[in-house]
Structure 1
Amino acid sequence: MTKRLLVALTQRVDVSQTGERRDALDQAWAAMMEQLGHIPVALSNNVRSADEYLAALAPDAVILTGGNDVATLPGAVNPAPERDRLEEAAIAYCQHRSKPLLAVCRGLQMLNLHLGGTLVPAHDHVATSHPIRGEYLQGVGSVNSFHNWAIQSGGLAKDLVALGTAPDGTVEAAHHGRLPWFGVMWHPERPISDPAFHRNLVGAAIEGRLKGIA
């Protein structure tokens, strides 16, 4: 039986009409974690010391979820610098402890930038779907797409290995060459096909067993 994990999930930042900055997370993530037998914990973005916060929680795995453009990007939509700081700390937490990390959509963008990669504006990747190319991910089929920024093959960080691409050649899935880190540009918590496959993919990533997900 797989060990029950404490899984920390980052949250998007939404701004209300009154200017309140609110952390938010799709409830589908909690449902998926419970289906996998794990314990979900939503991370607060605006904490005094993200390093101390993560060390005190001591999660077994981290998921960088979608939403918000990275604040340093030109023309960033709904940027959240406080979230960027938290996620930088979350990546460092996983790196120093060799903890599993799953990076989803914006999460993979953040991870790629953190590791020295680059992003380019995405074209026709918002509110659509497309197939995935890549032998490792043959079971995925079509995926959803909701991102304004993309990773070209030449912009992938040197520590990341591409596992799948969109029809336009941009990177849609990657893993770290040494650490148990995996990233996708689509949202496996809201798949357009084969929910069981996507649930197993997420489980494999956060449990640090990337082999056998296809």
Structure 2
Amino acid sequence: MKKILISQRRDPVPGRDEERDGMDVRLAKIFFDLGYLPIPLCSELYEAENYIEAFQTDAILINSGNDIGEYPQRDQLEVRLLDYAKTHSIPVLAICRGTQMLNQYCGGSLVSVTGHVATRQTLQGEWAKNQGYTDVNSYHNFAITQETLGEGLEVLACTQDGVVKAIKHKRFPWLGIMWHPEREANLPETDKKLLSELFNSRI
């Protein structure tokens, strides 16, 4: 079975002197059903030598949750994951905050937006039409625009107000989406097809 490394959100636990890494359990099932063994990563090992290399992974998920800069350990782990993916030509899926991290990694930035939390947004553009997308869920306060797009990235889909909802790298098999497939009652066929195509890709 192929392996996919998954970065996790990091949060303090109220009433306890500890912080925990965590992820939506529905993600594990999505990737297991796609033929991948999901391996959640510990953000505290961001400096551990050979931590990522030891897994010999086939794919990487830069996950959602947290704002960039909120937990530098997580940020640094994800930078190392992208460095590894670049060196080894490994497919990367980035979800929501993960897409923002991918954009920042490529030299881009973010803007604050309203009206994109707990809503559904209509995707615009030929890519969305060809992939069969109409509307997607949305849960973010910060966004990428054409003006803040990182180097080497291409916009695949936007909303009517100019918020970028999907990007890809022009050279590497990296895809970023600003919606959450795991939050749908059932994995949409559009997302299933999209993920299957991505994880079967190589440079």
The TM-score normalised by the length of structure 2 is 0.92
After TM superposition, the structure 1 = structure 2 runs for residues 53-64 of structure 1, keeping only pairs within 5 Å, are 53-64=51-62
Partner Cα separation in structure 1 for residue 187 and residue 38 of structure 2: 22
Is the counterpart of residue 15 in structure 1 residue 12 in structure 2? yes
RMSD of aligned Cα (Å): 1.8
Pairs within 5 Å for 1:72-151: 79-138=70-129, 139-151=132-144
TM-score, structure 1 as length reference: 0.88
Secondary structure (helix, strand or coil) at the match of 1:168 reads coil
Aligned residues of 1:142 and 1:193 also touching (Cα < 8 A): no
CA change 1:19–1:131 in 2 (3 A) is farther
Q: Is the 8 A contact 1:62 1:206 kept in 2?
A: no
Find the aligned partners of 2:166 and 2:185 in 1 and give their Cα distance.
17
Structure 2 CA distance, aligned partners of 1:22 and 1:89?
Answer: 20
Distance 1:99 1:88 in 2: 14
**Cα distance 1:126–1:48, how it changes in 2: closer, same or farther (>3 A)?**
closer
- The one of 193, 199, 203 equivalent to 1:206 is 199
2:46 touches 2:76 (CA, 8 Å); kept in 1? no
Residues 18-72 of structure 1: CA distance to partner in whole angstroms, max 9, x if unpaired? 242111011111111121111111111101635511011121110011000001x
Equivalent residue, structure 2, for 1:188: 181
Q: Using the TM superposition, name which of 182-191 and 89-98 deviates more.
A: 182-191
Regions of 4+ moved over 4 Å:
none
Stretches of structure 2 lacking an aligned partner (at least 5 in a row): none
Contact 2:159–2:165 under 8 Å retained in 1:
yes
Count of aligned pairs between the two proteins: 200
Residue aligning to 1:5? 2
Cα distance in structure 2, aligned partners of 1:194 and 1:86:
28
Structure 2 residue identity aligned to 1:159: G
1:45 aligned partner, one-letter code: S
How many Å separate the matches in 2 of 1:104 and 1:93?
18
Q: Provide the rounded CA distance (Å) in 1 between the counterparts of 2:49 and 2:86.
A: 12
What is the percentage of aligned positions where both structures have the same residue? 38
Cα distance in 2 for partners of 1:42, 1:12 equals 10
Aligned CA distance change for structure 1 residues 135 and 15 (closer, same or farther; 3 Å)? same
Contact 1:143–1:191 under 8 Å retained in 2: no
Offset, 1:205: 2.0
